[in-house]
């Protein structure tokens, strides 16, 4: 695993996106090209195929409606990376459909009760200090506004796993976005899970929560349906991974130095 990029963001949601987009512009543009977007030497981008645009517009609509702070981050990401916002919404729509690179994460709890997340190469670590909400240390992909795994200063850790395609459901904003709002707002696994039970989001995914008290919760999202389950057994990472320690408020990649919330 290559050494992850570490970025720091502070301020309003758009500022947080701008910091990430500026730091990760090359990776973001390369990912858009792999997804079918093309730019010319003047920085103009050709549109995606009509079907891709339709999916992106539906996702943009529901992100704007249900996750306004993350919509602001998308605006900042686009400005920092010098790409159109629709291209980033296209990537979010791919996550919703189970076609994105964040859709195959595996996570669980180890023998010490820490959340362990098997990651993909090319991810970033970021420390986020928002104007409103808890400071958090997170792992995500350069082009995504929300965390895929993270821990906040209040002692809540969370990770999104088992994302797969879903053609049903009324909301077209991908479920992993719920985690970012939980890290900003909550201190306990149960409060975060209860909030996810009530909030709109789409696709199929599980969100695992653990807190500094040792409590755990698992929420399964299946379109408009929500289910609770017990955390299963322990997990040992067999590849690139991060460890989320709710007691020390840190995220640690593959034994390297920890990033503290």
pLDDT tens digit string along 178-222?
Answer: 999 999 999 999 999 999 999 999 988 899 999 999 999 999 999
Cβ-in-10-Å burial (0-12, 13-18, 19+) of 131 comes to exposed
Same domain, 88 and 112: no
Count of domains forming the chain: 2
| CA–CA distance, 203 with 43 (Å, rounded to integer) | 33
23 shares its domain with 92: yes
CATH number of the domain that 181 lies in? 3.60.60.10
Residue 165, in any domain of the structure:
yes
pLDDT band at 228 (very low <50, low <70, confident <90, very high): very high
Which positions ≥6 away from 47 have C-beta within 8 Å? Answer: 53, 86
CA angle (175 as vertex; 172, 76 as ends), nearest 5:
80
Last residue of a domain, one of 66, 96, 126: 96
Domain co-membership, 56 together with 145: no
Instruction: Write down which residue in 75, 96, 117 finishes a domain.
Output: 96
Same domain, yes or no: 116 and 178: yes
- Averaged pLDDT, 146-169: 84
83, 113: one domain: no
Note the pTM of the prediction, 2 decimals: 0.92
User: Please, are residues 138 and 183 in contact by the beta-carbon 8 Å criterion?
Assistant: yes
Is 101 a domain residue?
no
How far apart are alpha carbons 78 and 201 in whole angstroms?
22
**Do 141 and 249 sit in the same domain of this protein?**
yes
Kindly tell me if the per-residue pLDDT of 1 is higher than 60: no
Residue-wise pLDDT tens digits, 5-63: 899 999 999 999 999 999 999 999 999 988 876 655 445 555 556 566 788 899 999 99
- Domain match, 180 and 134 both: yes
- Could you list the residue range(s) of the whole structural domain that residue 176 is in? 106-260
Same domain for 237 and 122? yes
- Cα gap 9→245, rounded to integer Å: 21
Percent of the chain with pLDDT over 90: 64
Tell me which of 49, 65, 96 is where a domain ends: 96
| Contact by Cβ (8 Å): 150, 157 | yes
In a domain, 252, yes or no: yes
């Amino acid at each position: 695993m290559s050494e992850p990029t570490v970025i720091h963001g502070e301020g309003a949601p758009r500022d947080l996106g701008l910091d990430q987009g500026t730091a990760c512009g090359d990776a973001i543009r390369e990912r858009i090209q792999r997804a079918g977007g093309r730019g010319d030497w003047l920085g103009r981008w050709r549109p995606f195929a009509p079907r891709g645009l339709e999916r992106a517009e539906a996702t943009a609509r529901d992100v704007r409606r249900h996750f306004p702070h993350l919509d602001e981050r998308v605006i900042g990401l686009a400005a920092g990376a010098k790409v159109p916002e629709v291209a980033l919404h296209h990537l979010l729509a791919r996550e919703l459909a189970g076609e994105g690179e964040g859709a195959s994460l595996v996570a669980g709890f180890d023998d010490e009760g820490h959340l362990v997340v098997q990651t993909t190469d090319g991810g970033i670590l970021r420390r986020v200090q928002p104007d409103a909400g808890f400071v958090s240390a997170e792992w995500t992909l350069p082009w995504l506004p929300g965390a895929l795994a993270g821990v906040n200063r209040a002692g809540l850790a969370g990770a999104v796993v088992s994302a797969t395609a879903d053609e049903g459901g009324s909301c077209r904003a991908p479920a992993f976005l719920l985690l970012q709002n939980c890290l900003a707002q909550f201190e306990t696994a149960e409060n975060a899970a209860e909030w996810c039970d009530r909030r709109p989001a789409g696709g199929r995914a599980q969100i695992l929560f653990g807190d500094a008290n040792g409590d755990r919760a698992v929420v399964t999202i299946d379109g408009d349906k929500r289910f609770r389950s017990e955390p299963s057994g322990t997990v040992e990472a067999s590849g690139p991974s991060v460890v989320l320690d709710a007691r020390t408020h840190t995220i640690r990649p593959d034994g390297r130095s920890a990033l503290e919330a």
